[in-house]
Amino acid sequence: MARFYTYARNDEDDHFRQLQPNDRNLDPPDITRLEHEKKVSNILETKKVRSVNSPWITKNIRQEMRHRDFLKKKAIQTKSKHYHQAYKRERNELNKQIKTTKV
């Protein structure tokens, strides 16, 4: 399922800030909604954001992904062979589990 977010373009730099629902007053008293949307269309940009939920990513797989990421972080921080081997073992087991779940 896709979600749509609206961002306000800042002319001073190329950064965007996400607009909150109460930030957009689309019904000003002196102009119609359509006229107002035409005026602000050059400063608003809508981006489509894909959902991160894949059907084969179960709760158990997500927990194992967090554990794999933890082991990778520890392996990089400590430069320990033990953590590196544990990370590789967890990574390979997780990849096998994802492949079997997808089928």
What are the tens digits of pLDDT across the range 51-65?
667 888 889 999 999
Task: Kindly indicate the confidence band of residue 103, based on its pLDDT and cuts at 50, 70 and 90.
Answer: confident
47 sits in which H/E element: strand 44-49
- Residue 15: what are its φ and ψ, rounded to 5°? -85, 150
Does the pTM surpass 0.85? The reply is no
Q: In the predicted model, is pLDDT for residue 93 greater than 90?
A: yes
